[in-house]
Amino acid sequence: MDFVWMGALLALWAVAAAMAVGLDRLGAPKNAAGTAQGDAS
């Protein structure tokens, strides 16, 4: 049972880390030569 619950702990960590990486890409400028974040409204 320890593997199951320890696995659950690590899975939760992986979800949060994946969320961080995903949010870093959310709304990032698609054009590399574009303006800095927040300047394009």
Partner 1 sequence: MTASAWGLLALFLVALLVLAWPVGRFLAALCDERVPRWMQRVEAPLYRFAGTRPEQSMHWLRYALALLAFNAVGAVFVYALQRLQGWLPLNPAGMGAISPDSAFNTAVSFVSNTNWQGYGGESAMSYLTQMLGLAVQNFFSAATGIAVAFALIRGFARRGDGKAKGLVGNFWADLTRITLWVLVPLSFVLAVFFVSQGTIQNFDAYKSVQTVEATAAGGQTLAMGPVASQEAIKMLGTNGGGFFNANSAHPYENPTALANLLQMIAIFLIPAGLCFAFGRVVGDLRQGWAVLAAMTVMFVAAVMVVIPAEQAGNPLFGALGVDQLHGVLQSGGNMEGKEVRFGIDASALFAAVTTAASCGAVIAMHDSFTPLGGMVPMVLMQLGEVVFGGVGSGLYGMLIFAMLAVFIAGLMIGRTPEYLGKKIEVREMKLISIAILVTPVLVLAGTAVAVLAGAGKAGIANPGAHGFSEILYALSSAANNNGSAFAGLSANTPFYNGLLGLAMWLGRFAVIVPVLAIAGALAAKQRLPVTGGTLPTHGPLFVSLLIGTVLLVGLLNYVPALALGPVVEHLVLWK
How many Cβ atoms from other residues are within 10 Å of residue 29's Cβ? 13
Count of residues that bind partner 1 according to CB under 8 A:
25
Under the binding rule (CB under 8 A), the answer on residue 33 touching partner 1 is no
Cβ atoms of residues 28 and 37 within 8 Å: yes
CB of 37 to partner 1, least distance (A): 5
Alpha-carbon 14 to chain mean position: 10
Residues of this chain that interact with partner 1 (CB under 8 A) are 1-2, 4-6, 8-10, 12-13, 15-17, 19-21, 23-24, 26-27, 36-39, 41
